[in-house]
Amino acid sequence: MILYDSPNPAPNPRRVRIYLAEKGLSVPLQTISIRDGEHRGDAFLQVNPLGQIPALVIDGADVLTESIAICRFFETLHPSPPLFGSGARGVAEVDQWIRRVELRLMTPLAMVWQHTHPFTARVVKPQYTDFGESQRPRVVAAMRECDTALASRDWLDGKGYSMADIVLLTTIDFAAFIGIAVPEDATALRDWHARASARPSAQA
């Protein structure tokens, strides 16, 4: 088993590293440099033709891609402690928050990244800068939605630290990297970020 990984600030491989750290699992890593374009090289494209990281090679042949799918694979093998919720309602609530963070926060954030950042200019052609800039208010609005939810709970699902929090943490940190900070008055989200960042797994 080999996990193809990329270092920070790449948010998706970091999700898997944090998940594995929370589970106390160790998986052999193969680092792929996005900065150097290794994810677009022939060697890695034979692993994942989409050129995206992470990718998990199982038994030297089967390949799983997409960070959530990879974590769900490990969750089935190592169900304790549960990071995708417990029971029908618990699992659904974690899934609900993963979807909200990915669709309402990460999607517009990705558009800002792809269409306004100089790093992506070499691969996103043409960049639609006006469109990218128009997505910044959507990112901030989604942060405020999370802030409202976290005003009454410590973690997103209201029960405990979960995969939803991992997805949010990596997204918020990536937003900071590209220049979109959590609003100063979003105190619940800021407090949550401090709690999540204080966990040892956040350093993965």
Q: Judge whether residue 124 has pLDDT over 90.
A: no
| The predicted structure's pLDDT at residue 61 | 82
String of DSSP letters for 57-86: EETTTEEEESHHHHHHHHHHH--SS-SS-S
How do residues 173-191 score in pLDDT, each as one tens digit?
999 999 999 999 999 999 9
Amino acid sitting at position 201 = S
The two beta strands, 62-65 and 55-58, are: antiparallel
Q: pLDDT tens digits for 55-108?
A: 999 987 899 999 999 999 999 999 999 999 999 999 999 999 999 999 999 999
**In terms of pTM, does the model score above 0.85?**
yes
Per cent of the chain over pLDDT 70 is: 100
What is the per-residue pLDDT for 192?
98
| Burial state string for 2-28 with b = 16 or more CB within 10 A and e = fewer than 16 | ebbbbeeebbbbbbbbbbbbbbeeeee
d(CA 4, CA 93): 29
The helix (run of H) or strand (run of E) holding residue 55 is strand 55-58
Nearest 5°: the CA angle 36, 27, 50 is 40
Residue tagged 């630290």 (tokens): 161
Residue 120 exposed, middle or buried by CB count within 10 Å (0-12, 13-18, 19+): middle
Helix (H) or strand (E) holding 30: strand 29-31
Evaluate whether 65 touches 54 at the Cβ level (below 8 Å): yes
Going from the C-alpha of 172 to that of each of 11, 26, 52, 197, the distances in angstroms are 9, 25, 20, 11
pLDDT value for 122: 80
pLDDT digits (tens, 9 = 90+) for 104-121: 999 999 999 999 998 888
Q: What does the pLDDT average to over 142-148? A: 98
Average pLDDT over residues 147-153: 97
Closest CA to 155 of 89, 94, 112, 106: 94
Tokens of 181: 């900070």
What band does 25 get if pLDDT is binned at 50, 70 and 90? very high
Q: Which run of H or of E encompasses 187?
A: helix 187-198
What 3-state class would DSSP assign to 171? helix
